[in-house]
């Protein structure tokens, strides 16, 4: 009891300190504001000018302050975090690899029985990984030089490899001496102990980089994040990228004299590389072939000098020399997501482009990687136009497309609006900053603040709809449960609002329910829908009840037909629930439902053809539920009629929606393109099934072969 009372007292003291600091901070801010006003007043002729200058100063301060904040959360902070997290992954791989090696050595020292064939294979993998890392650091040393931290790790890795070769560990396992001797001689034990020590030194560097044992915001972690480049630096990622793709970086200079870094991946070369058994995992299929280092391990073991080993690695032919292209291929320009540089990409990502004979152009925004300048939405839009114009002059490709991932959709849709391209893929894009802000608490205020202070003129939905080439194939990839780009702020949802508001006669609303219903009728419909959702949540455990089964069938009908209703069941805020209900019916009207092929068991992209089918199905389910009063009484003892009244209101609403859809027509000739629903969230590659739908569309328009 005393302990609990002490905790309560401590919490009261903390709360009192917090509350007491609020008036102090408020007073401090007000004093600064008053002082600032009097300074401005002293330089102005009258009071009115002083007030205008005072508010203008705050407007400019907030406008550029928010812009600076948005810039900082791009590459300078999140990008640096990506560098560090990738470095932690590499450090962790070394820790695991060398820990396994130490386990093997300790078993031999302790004279334990082990499987030589299995451990020999493990040693090959460990040696290969260390040797590859040495090669990468050697290339860095030769091209860019090594930092103090990188040099220390590089020297330790070289020592480890020399000892590993000198002690003939591979030869011992290969000749299977473990079964020919009763015990391991003492000198060999000493060698193993030396290798264990070498490994521990390297592990210590890797563990120190990760700093798992430190607190979240410890000085050591902050130092590593800011200054420790042992496993993460731009030079390192550049070397690794060149090693994976064997493509050189290119640069072009913008009209305002800024260097933009880009590279073009030749699909023909890459496919040839893969057919030569390069060790990539493609389409999640495991390959049995060893990589080029393992295939040449015998050559490496017989060399003594470091330079010879490096030269041996270089002489291994991974890719053939460039040959003249007999026919023109297609090119896709890829616009990266936030805080992503193209050096992070691997051949496995978007492999369907290479497989279909399509080259990919990767480029880094200003301030990203080796590109110069300051990254803004305006700069990104301007740079992609200049880049496209430069690439088109090369006259090497027949068709051009653009794939904008997340924030890359801003530049991608802008390119499609201003240049003749054949393909536009909007991959998990948002419409504008203000529409993203609208989907959070206090979103009504934040929406207008973003428009006022940021001058938010990003309208990806209009750029998407009105492409310069009217025959441009357009694809939207969207996950309604995206954890970054909320469904209401996505390009898909913004297109729905735009079409409803601008392309339906005699309509000035951006929500279809406001066009179909009177205001009071609409509110009753939405409230009834929310009531039965709450009723279903309260009785979710009684799934065997036939009424609950039909209620689930009613929602499943729309979940399958359009998108997850979970989006507006997750919010406790009433405004956000209503916002997402409107968004759901907007998308249902504009994008429609998924077709389904029963024979092939295959989901296709969305179409409005089956909207009436799903509405009829929902109305029939509701009619059946109205005759189940006895089944409701087993769930709750009172207010049964309220639930039935809600279902009656929803049924009548669905009938009115159905009749409205029958007579409504979109007045303008707008090409929406294809909508493909994803289930992978925001930061991962879409599944094979979703990829197959994209490939099928691109093959039909002859963009992929």
pLDDT tens column, 198-241? 999 999 999 999 876 666 667 888 888 888 999 989 999 999 88
Tell me the per-residue pLDDT of 44-60, one tens digit each, with 9 for 90 and over: 778 888 888 888 887 77
Judge whether 547 and 539 are in contact, CB under 8 Å.
Answer: no
Q: Which of 281-290, 340-349, 548-557, 660-669 shows the lowest mean pLDDT across its residues? A: 281-290
Residue range 400-413: average pLDDT? 94
Partnered with residue 261 across adjacent β-strands are 251
Residue 162 scores a pLDDT above 80: yes
Judge whether 127 and 164 are in contact, CB under 8 Å.
Answer: yes
Considering 150-159, 174-183, 433-442, 620-629, the range whose residues carry the highest mean pLDDT is 150-159
State the pLDDT confidence band at 291, using cuts at 50, 70 and 90: very low
Share of residues in the chain with pLDDT > 70 (%)? 78
State the pLDDT confidence band at 439, using cuts at 50, 70 and 90: confident
The pair of structure tokens assigned to 431 is: 């419409």
State the pLDDT confidence band at 14, using cuts at 50, 70 and 90: low
Residue range 531-542: average pLDDT? 76
Query: Which phi and psi (to 5°) does residue 379 adopt?
Result: -65, -40
Q: Report the pLDDT value the prediction gives residue 578, as an integer from 0 to 100.
A: 85
Measured between alpha carbons, how far apart are the two ends of the chain, in Å?
A: 75
Bigger pLDDT: 165 or 441?
165
Instruction: Report the interhelical angle of 80-109 vs 186-210 (nearest 10°).
Output: 160
Residues 6+ apart with CB under 8 A from 694: 352, 425, 475, 477, 676, 686
Residue range 380-393: average pLDDT? 94
Tell me the per-residue pLDDT of 476-530, one tens digit each, with 9 for 90 and over: 998 888 888 888 889 999 999 999 988 888 788 889 999 899 989 999 999 898 8
Bigger pLDDT: 675 or 20?
675
Residue range 372-397: average pLDDT? 91
pTM of this prediction?
0.80
Sheet holding 329-335, edge to edge: 250-253, 259-265, 358-363, 329-335, 397-405, 423-427, 473-478, 674-677
Residue 290 scores a pLDDT above 50: no
Residue 411 scores a pLDDT above 60: yes
What is the residue-averaged pLDDT of the chain? Answer: 79
Judge whether 151 and 129 are in contact, CB under 8 Å.
Answer: no
Residue identified by tokens 């309220």 is 642
Bigger pLDDT: 25 or 129?
129
Q: Report the pLDDT value the prediction gives residue 598, as an integer from 0 to 100.
A: 46
Q: Report the pLDDT value the prediction gives residue 604, as an integer from 0 to 100.
A: 60
Task: Return the CATH class of domain 246-276+326-431+459-503+669-705.
Answer: alpha beta
State the pLDDT confidence band at 663, using cuts at 50, 70 and 90: confident
Tell me the per-residue pLDDT of 299-337, one tens digit each, with 9 for 90 and over: 333 333 344 433 433 333 333 334 334 467 899 999 999
Q: Report the pLDDT value the prediction gives residue 327, as an integer from 0 to 100.
A: 60
Residue 99 scores a pLDDT above 90: yes
State the pLDDT confidence band at 636, using cuts at 50, 70 and 90: low
Q: Report the pLDDT value the prediction gives residue 474, as an integer from 0 to 100.
A: 95
Bigger pLDDT: 466 or 179?
466
Residue range 681-696: average pLDDT? 87
Determine the Cα–Cα distance for residues 1 and 13; give it in Å rounded to an integer: 18
Judge whether 404 and 426 are in contact, CB under 8 Å.
Answer: yes
Tell me the per-residue pLDDT of 57-87, one tens digit each, with 9 for 90 and over: 877 777 777 777 767 767 777 778 888 888 9
Q: Report the pLDDT value the prediction gives residue 641, as an integer from 0 to 100.
A: 58
Residue range 669-691: average pLDDT? 86
Determine the Cα–Cα distance for residues 56 and 50; give it in Å rounded to an integer: 10
| Residue-range domain boundaries for the chain | 2-72, 77-236, 246-276+326-431+459-503+669-705, 509-665
Residue 75 is classified by DSSP as: I
Q: Report the pLDDT value the prediction gives residue 642, as an integer from 0 to 100.
A: 80
Instruction: Report the interhelical angle of 2-43 vs 47-72 (nearest 10°).
Output: 130
State the pLDDT confidence band at 154, using cuts at 50, 70 and 90: very high
Residue 76 is classified by DSSP as: I
The pair of structure tokens assigned to 489 is: 């702020």
Bigger pLDDT: 180 or 136?
136
């Amino acid at each position: 009891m005393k302990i609990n009372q002490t905790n309560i007292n401590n919490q009261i003291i903390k709360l009192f300190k917090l509350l007491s600091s609020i008036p102090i901070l408020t007073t401090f801010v007000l004093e600064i504001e008053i002082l600032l006003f009097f300074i401005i007043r002293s330089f102005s002729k009258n009071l009115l000018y002083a007030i205008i200058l005072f508010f203008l100063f705050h407007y400019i301060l907030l406008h550029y302050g928010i812009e600076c904040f948005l810039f900082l959360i791009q590459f300078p902070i999140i990008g640096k975090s990506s560098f560090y997290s990738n470095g932690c992954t590499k450090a962790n791989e070394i820790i695991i690899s060398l820990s396994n090696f130490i386990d093997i050595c300790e078993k031999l020292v302790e004279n334990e029985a082990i499987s030589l064939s299995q451990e020999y294979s493990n040693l090959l993998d460990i040696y290969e990984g260390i040797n590859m890392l040495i090669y990468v650091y050697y290339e860095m040393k030769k091209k860019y030089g090594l930092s103090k931290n990188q040099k220390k790790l590089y020297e330790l890795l070289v020592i480890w490899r020399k000892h590993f070769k000198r002690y003939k560990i591979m030869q011992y396992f290969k000749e299977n001496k473990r079964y020919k001797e009763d015990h391991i001689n003492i000198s060999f034990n000493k060698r193993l102990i030396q290798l264990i020590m070498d490994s521990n030194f390297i592990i210590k560097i890797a563990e120190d980089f990760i700093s798992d044992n430190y607190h979240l915001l410890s000085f050591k972690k902050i130092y590593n994040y800011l200054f420790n480049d042992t496993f993460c630096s731009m030079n390192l990622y550049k070397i690794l990228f060149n090693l994976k793709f064997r493509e050189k970086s290119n640069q072009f200079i913008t009209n305002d004299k800024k260097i933009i870094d880009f590279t073009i991946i030749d699909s023909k070369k890459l496919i040839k590389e893969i057919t030569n058994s390069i060790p990539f995992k493609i389409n999640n299929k495991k390959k049995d072939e060893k990589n080029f280092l393992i295939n040449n391990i015998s050559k490496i073991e017989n060399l003594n000098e470091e330079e010879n080993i490096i030269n041996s690695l270089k002489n291994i032919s991974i890719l053939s020399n460039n040959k003249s292209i007999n026919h023109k291929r297609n090119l896709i320009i890829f616009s990266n997501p936030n805080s992503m540089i193209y050096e992070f990409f691997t051949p496995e990502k978007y492999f369907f482009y290479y497989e279909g004979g399509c080259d990919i152009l990767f480029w880094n925004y200003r301030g990203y990687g080796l590109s110069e300048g300051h990254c803004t939405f305006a700069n990104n839009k301007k740079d992609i136009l200049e880049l496209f114009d430069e690439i088109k002059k090369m006259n090497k490709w027949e068709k051009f497309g653009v794939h904008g991932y997340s924030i890359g959709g801003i530049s991608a849709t802008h390119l499609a609006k201003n240049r003749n391209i054949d393909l536009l893929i909007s991959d998990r894009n948002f419409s504008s900053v203000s529409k993203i802000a609208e989907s959070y608490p206090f979103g009504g205020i934040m929406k207008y603040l973003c428009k006022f202070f940021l001058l938010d003129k990003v309208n990806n939905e209009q750029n998407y709809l009105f492409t310069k080439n009217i025959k441009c194939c357009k694809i939207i990839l969207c996950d309604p449960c995206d954890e970054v780009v909320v469904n209401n702020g996505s390009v898909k949802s913004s297109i729905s609002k735009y079409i409803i508001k601008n392309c339906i006669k005699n309509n000035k609303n951006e929500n279809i329910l406001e066009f179909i219903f009177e205001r009071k009728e609409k509110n009753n419909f939405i409230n009834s829908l929310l009531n039965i959702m709450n009723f279903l949540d309260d009785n979710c455990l009684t799934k065997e009840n036939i009424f609950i089964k039909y209620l689930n069938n009613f929602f499943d009908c729309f979940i399958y037909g359009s998108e997850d209703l979970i989006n507006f069941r997750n919010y406790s805020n009433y405004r956000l629930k209503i916002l997402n209900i409107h968004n759901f019916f907007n998308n249902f009207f504009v994008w429609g439902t998924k077709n389904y092929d029963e024979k092939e068991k295959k989901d296709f992209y969305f179409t409005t053809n089956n909207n009436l089918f799903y509405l009829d199905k929902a109305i029939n389910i509701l009619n059946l539920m109205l005759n189940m009063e006895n089944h409701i009484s087993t769930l709750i003892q009172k207010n049964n009629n309220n639930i039935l009244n809600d279902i009656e209101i929803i049924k009548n609403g669905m009938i009115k929606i159905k009749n409205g859809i029958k007579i409504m027509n979109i007045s303008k000739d707008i090409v929406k393109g294809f909508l493909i629903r994803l289930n992978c969230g925001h930061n991962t590659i879409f599944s094979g099934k979703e990829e197959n739908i994209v490939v099928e569309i691109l093959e039909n328009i002859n963009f992929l072969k």
